[in-house]
A = this chain, B = another copy of it.
Amino acid sequence: MIEPSNPRIAALDRMLELALLINHDLTTSLAAQGLSTSRVSVLWEVLRRGPVTQRELADALHVTARNMTGLVDGLVAGQLVTREPHPSDRRATLVTLTPKGTTAAQQLVRDQSAFADLLFADLPPAELGTFASVLDHVVNRLNEHGLTIAAARKEEG
């Protein structure tokens, strides 16, 4: 009944649709391996950062500390990570990849790379460049200017 009427709205629409599609694909693909997107995002974050506290992970992934406890529990049960004592803060634990976890995380990174290659395979480099720079720009606007939907709503007037 209502169609996007300006190019900005159309772009956001398309972006959200794509995110939904990719997320759905990711979810089903991972479920087949006994993983979930949330746990994988933890796994990736640990691969990227090395041993890291649950607090840092919770902040990075925008979830509560309680939630992170559950996610790490799941990964520990799957023997993908261990909880190691923090050397200088006895309250904290360092979430650390096991060999199995490292292998799994690296495989996931390879999968994502192969996927990216397929996705953008027949795209001229110039277009990919513009695409990436726009994404960069938008992420910065979101991060640095505290841009939110709530803020947008206030400006509607």
| Chain A interface (Cβ < 8 Å from any Cβ of B) | 1-2, 6-26, 29, 32, 41, 47-50, 62, 106, 109-120, 123, 125, 127-139, 141-143, 147-153, 155-156
Contact = CB atoms under 8 A, between A and B. Distances in A.
B149 A8 contact: no
A-B pairs with the 9 shortest C-beta distances?
A19-B19, A114-B152, A12-B116, A115-B152, A14-B135, A131-B134, A8-B116, A8-B120, A130-B130
A148 B48 CA distance: 24
B118 A147 contact: yes
Q: At the interface, is chain A mostly helix, strand, loop or mixed?
A: helix
A62 B24 contact: yes
A37 to B, nearest CB: 10
Contacts of A131: 11, 130-131, 134-135
A3 to B, nearest CB: 8
B152 A111 contact: yes
